[in-house]
Structure 1
Amino acid sequence: MVKPLLHETTTLITAQNGIPYWYFHGLPGPYEGHRIESVDPGGAVSRALPVHRAVGCVVYAATEIEQPGVIRHLEGTRFSIGEPDGTMSVRCKEFSDAMVAGGLKCPVEADLRNDIWIKLMGNIAFNPISALSRATMASICRHDETRELVVRMMTETLEVAASLGCHPRMSVERRLAGAEKAGEHKTSTLQDLEKGKPLELDVIIKAVVELADLTGVKVPTLRTIGAVADLLNEQLTAA
């Protein structure tokens, strides 16, 4: 259904959590052009949304779905964007200018993959744990054992990022402190669970496990939590 909307110069702003389907597009190195099966199964996504049209976007806004068509904005107005190949393109500048004119922050990043991993450090831990425990972000942080679990998951995530040549300038403790400030916020995954919706965790945790297998990094904690969350998701979709 998207195809008729894609004209010669149409750009796709891929605002999402987790690992995007275009991750290896325009990235020099041994994995350039590699397709990540968990986010682009059989190439279905890249066929519908060609990678040359994609501009990445990392969303730094906390929201809650109150009801269909009604979104409560809690905090955050930054939407970082960037070209997969790191160029400072005209289309990025034009989109950024439009977002800023609308009262939002929209920096154009030369290496958006740093932002992707920084945001993912929180999502990869809090989203599945919140679904499994039905706890808010603050509650997860205040509980000693789950706090330590978050630290292990974030540490493994940074090891995968490093194996791909990405070294985010963000410590685990600083990222954890930032997440704790969100307070009694329910992650989008927990909100989906409470509404009986499928848990969109493939791009958040399954993709990172797949990348770990690709580069030979050991991620036992991510693998374990991912397996349990995947079982929960199977039960939801079968219900």
Structure 2
Amino acid sequence: MLKLLMVGAGGIGGYYAARLSRAGHDVVLTARCEHLHAIENRGLTVRYGGDEWNCRLPVFDHAHLLKQYRADDFDLVLLALKSTATESVLHELGPWLGKGSVALLSLQNGVDNEPMIAAAIGANRTLGGLAVRIGGHIVEPGMIEAEGVGQVVMGEWPEAAPQPDTRRLLLKTLEAAFNKSGIPATVSPRIRHELWRKLVINNGVNPLSALTGLDTRSLTQHPKFGKLVYAMMAETVAASRADGVNLGQQDLDEMFALISSFNAIKTSMLVDKEKGRPLELDSIAGAVLRRSEALGIGAPYTTTVNALLEHGLG
């Protein structure tokens, strides 16, 4: 049995936390405001695949978490917050994490979270990760809804070291625990490469879905929007060279085929726009634009869609 801290009990973090708890692992959550109070009073309810689960899990805001636990009380800390919150949560929890040696696994969008985590607690404690083929959001305080396969890919940041370290054994343990919990999980020796491949999909559909109000299936199957999705994905592939990842045509075509095969998933950015929440624009489109600028190459489609969303259009 693992003792796990899930920082962020939204659609993604809450789903994985519930899966792991139902398999017998000891899971602690963090949440805020009404969502926190609802989980305290009624437990966390998860709707998935026509089923509904209710899990009674200990839940805290960050201030009370720091008083109740030491970082090394946990075998792993998982970060499932929006990437817009990464910097602030590391500022809040950084000193607390710094007193321990526990590893931190990011399950967030974008390619900039792991560098921030590594800067705060050390690369030797940083695990990169991505949630694949899953959509999830908070329906109401204390209740989340999730859909999709919900695969997790994880690995040593930024890639597997020549010599095994403590992260290697931990990742094997996590892989087995996740799979037994009903979470398809694999360990990648090149996690930064995998994160960029996911960014190819995210930049292709997330901003455009927020702009148009369309789900992933409607975008990729549309005769004109589908071409725009492909073009924004191609700009992401080109930008990957700035990080030395060097994705190519095969990656582009594989990622486009993958997102085209998805169910009609409402992207997280579209959900955030509908709910009036900040968009993860900077960590998705912004990441592509910054690296394109560094390489001296254009990204006209990403630039245009990003600008329209920044100005509140769509």
TM-score (norm 1): 0.79
Structure with the larger RCO, 1 or 2 (CA within 8 Å, 6+ apart)? 1
| Equivalent in the alignment of 1:58 | 130
Q: Does 1:4 align with 2:96?
A: yes
The amino acid that maps onto 1:74 is E
Count of aligned positions: 213
Q: Does 1:71 align with 2:163?
A: no
The amino acid that maps onto 1:59 is A
Unaligned runs of 5+ in 1: 24-39
1:187 and 1:70 mapped to 2: Cα distance?
18
Matches for 1:1-239 after TM superposition, within 5 Å: 1-2=92-93, 3-23=95-115, 48=120, 50-65=122-137, 66-84=139-157, 85-87=159-161, 89-168=168-247, 170-232=250-312
What is the deviation of 1:77?
Answer: 3.0
Cα deviations across residues 38-90 of structure 1 (Å, max 9, x unaligned)?
Answer: xx6xxxx6665554422100111422322233222211132111112423522
1:19 and 1:99 mapped to 2: Cα distance?
23
TM-score (norm 2): 0.61
1:91 and 1:7 mapped to 2: Cα distance?
20
Structure whose CA Rg is larger: 2
Question: What secondary structure, in the 3-state scheme, does the structure 2 residue paired with 1:9 have?
Answer: coil
1:18–1:116 contact (8 Å) kept in structure 2: yes
Q: CA RMSD in A?
A: 2.3
The amino acid that maps onto 1:13 is L
Question: Aligned in 2, Cα 1:56/1:74: closer, same or farther, shift over 3 Å?
Answer: same
Question: What secondary structure, in the 3-state scheme, does the structure 1 residue paired with 2:129 have?
Answer: strand
What is the deviation of 1:209?
Answer: 0.9
1:164–1:215 contact (8 Å) kept in structure 2: no
What is the deviation of 1:114?
Answer: 2.0
1:178 and 1:21 mapped to 2: Cα distance?
24
1:50 and 1:193 mapped to 2: Cα distance?
34
The amino acid that maps onto 1:226 is N
